[in-house]
Homo-oligomer: A and B are copies of this chain.
Amino acid sequence: MTKKPKTSALQEKDGVSQSEITNTISIENIQLKRKAQPSSTELVAQIIKGNITALSRAITLVESSNINHSKKANDVIKQCLPYANSSVRIGITGVPGVGKSTFIEAFGTHLTNLGKKVAVLAVDPSSSLSKGSILGDKTRMEDLVKNKNAFIRPSPSGDSLGGVARKTRETIILCEAAGFDTIVIETVGVGQSETAVHSMVDFFLLLKLAGAGDELQGIKRGIIEMADAIAINKADGDNLKSAKLAKVEFNRALHLYPQKASNWQPKVTLCSALKNKGISEIWQLIENYIEHTKNNSFFNINRTEQNKFWLLQTIEERLKSDFFNQSQIKKELKSQLQLIEAGKITPFAAAEYLLNLKN
């Protein structure tokens, strides 16, 4: 707020400047607090010791849109890289209601009982709108949230799937450097988020319900094709019979697909997360998969391919946003679209015109 010159009768209203002094103190406090924050080297030293506070702070830097935070985050990640990459990364998807949280609670607890350190992350591009639809409600993971060998972090917010995916991928590296040997990444069964998660994990698990009737949807959107295993959840009590039937059907469907690059034949399995049944079998299956893909080198080849994919993906997204966010382009795009609607220009001529305006 601009201060009024002290030439009018209103001079006595100095309360405004007092308020400003208060603000200055607040700002200094904030600045002091920032200075109190550890340097990136100090942060990394703590992370590789497994300090959860340091890990959380680093993730907050990754998720921040502040340019200084981003620089520090990049520095931290770079220093963490030599300590990363040694985990097993597991993607879990399924439509709302399939029991993802209950499954992750049971699955994560099983893994920590085996002595594993489990980080649970999420990719949910809708979370910035819905204020965290998945992993937001940690009460659904009562035991895991209290478990000192588990670390649960809800989906970062971000206006694009690309942004959310980048933050989660960088968080994976931080978690691995902090000693987490099993990374579970949950995603909702809607939109393109499965493809994003599939391209950042080693193993992709699809949770299904028997008789849900969404098979066509799964085939159409390529999710079944991405799955390394399909677990039919809630396979207990009255559901057991139909779950067994669904298993046969999914097995048949999976055999219609061409062989995967991993040379792994996807498996169908039954489980009941609520009754803690079939969970250890799923982990056994994942271990078999890891052994199989490490033996035939697919494991490392796939991780390198994923990194290359993310490099190109990031560049493409930035090229587009850099172009379309120019104020001149925004304005001219509007008028070119009007010319197109009026049938006065072809889309190709309009594109040419806009591209020639490029800085």
Contact = CB atoms under 8 A, between A and B. Distances in A.
A344 B81 CA distance: 7
Contacts of A304: 340-341
B354 A310 contact: no
Most buried by B among A311, A320, A340: A311
A236 interface: no
Q: How many copies does the complex hold?
A: 2
A262 interface: no
Interface stretch (A87-95, A145-153, A217-225, A268-276): A217-225
Given A307-B340, A319-B319, 13 more contacts: A74-B349, A77-B346, A78-B349, A81-B344, A82-B343, A169-B346, A219-B220, A304-B341, A307-B347, A311-B347, A311-B348, A314-B351, A318-B351
A40 to B, nearest CB: 14
A74 to B, nearest CB: 6
A248 interface: no
Most buried by B among A307, A308, A323, A350: A307
A310 B345 contact: no
A85 interface: yes
A304 B345 CA distance: 12
Contact of A315 (B78, B220, B225, B354): B354
A166 interface: yes
A346 B84 CA distance: 11
Interface in A138-197: 166, 169-170, 173
